Homo-oligomer: A and B are copies of this chain.
């Protein structure tokens, strides 16, 4: 598969690897020390050893095979470095060095020249002006930022810094990625080709893109149409507002264009559009679940308020509260306390324990009017309640009923709900912390089911 040399290269050269902790080449080489699928070689014109590893003066001096070169040399050395890489037989170059197309017309010209050199040798370039590439599934961190948490979302970002910010924030939130690509100036490799590659990989379940501006919209949309037949693609497009669009255009040097045109084109290509970083991630996280056959949602909760907020949130996305069958209501009545609300949202009230979660989830999943279940828990910290029981109850119900209806969790209590959240996640049930996030997840499942023709309207 074409881009394997970017994501699972046999040999990696870090050209500009450094012993100076203030240099990016220091961080990149340090981060790559954990790489498991091949050898990593430091290249440095002056040093014998880089971070204790034998260094080479030139990539061409490396005895072994080198599929990927990460280039962090000063700008004036980039051209010759690429020629050396080409002669060595390198297949992919991650060009971290900045100062090209993002600066001025001269920089754009230089960029084109680099691409021509690469073409000559059959090499491909990611960048320039990027943070690098990560593949969490083989511990390849070819960037100068911290490792992302391992997961199954592939993330391509046109802003390296924003990408880094998202990687860091998701470490705190426990959201994982399979791959991260900081795509930089897109002088050569662009969103379209990367998407096409990611459409056929095993470990990437959903693709999220942070886009500021596209150079070739048609090419993107054609790729998106192909890819969204296989995997969900979710886009956060910066530059919605006029002033934001102006800023985006000055930032990337690409035309931000009218947001409306972008949005229409995205939708036509089957791409889902997110408004915020969290909406984008919430959507992507849902795809560990099967797709629903309809948009009728059942909500179960141990507290009225969060149930109401979630009902509001799913309504905003055009989803519906399921009308429960009479039989379901009767069944719920048989074991829930008299003060429980038996209509959807089903409020099991604060006394609900694991057994109530289990029985209620089971009853709701079996209801033919229910296409999808959201299980809410405001984790109780009193009366010896064990939040893990609530999560386990839901997991047990899903396993027993096993009828392919998606289930999403909403555990709203910060650190207090962490254990319960982890139990759900370990069982493939995405667990959110905010009503609007779980609703975004439910919406994404419905939209992708619609695109795949699974939805019975």
Contacts and interface: CB of A to CB of B under 8 A. Distances in A.
Interface of A: 21-24, 27, 98-99, 102-103, 144-146, 157-165, 168-173, 210, 212, 238-244, 246-248, 250-252, 276-278, 302-309, 311-312, 315-316, 320-321, 338-339, 341, 343, 345, 347, 350, 378-384, 412-417, 433-436
Contacts of A170: 414
A103 B159 contact: no
A276 B434 contact: yes
Contact of A238 (B246, B248, B278, B305): B305
B414 A252 contact: no
Nearest to A417: B168
Given A161-B350, A251-B341, A244 B169 contact: no
A163 B305 CA distance: 9
Given A169-B433, A243-B315, 5 more contacts: A24-B382, A168-B413, A168-B416, A244-B309, A277-B435
A171 B413 CA distance: 9
B276 A306 contact: no
A384 B144 CA distance: 12
B238 A171 contact: no
A247 to B, nearest CB: 5
A390 B242 CA distance: 29
B383 A165 contact: no
A260 to B, nearest CB: 14
A21 B350 CA distance: 17
A103 B337 CA distance: 11
Contact of A378 (B162, B241, B320): B162
Given A159-B304, A161-B303, A415-B171, A238 B21 contact: no
Given A305-B251, A345-B247, A433-B169, A312 B241 contact: yes
15 contacts: A22-B384, A27-B382, A144-B382, A161-B302, A161-B305, A162-B303, A238-B312, A241-B311, A246-B343, A247-B345, A248-B304, A251-B304, A251-B307, A276-B434, A276-B436
A302 to B, nearest CB: 7
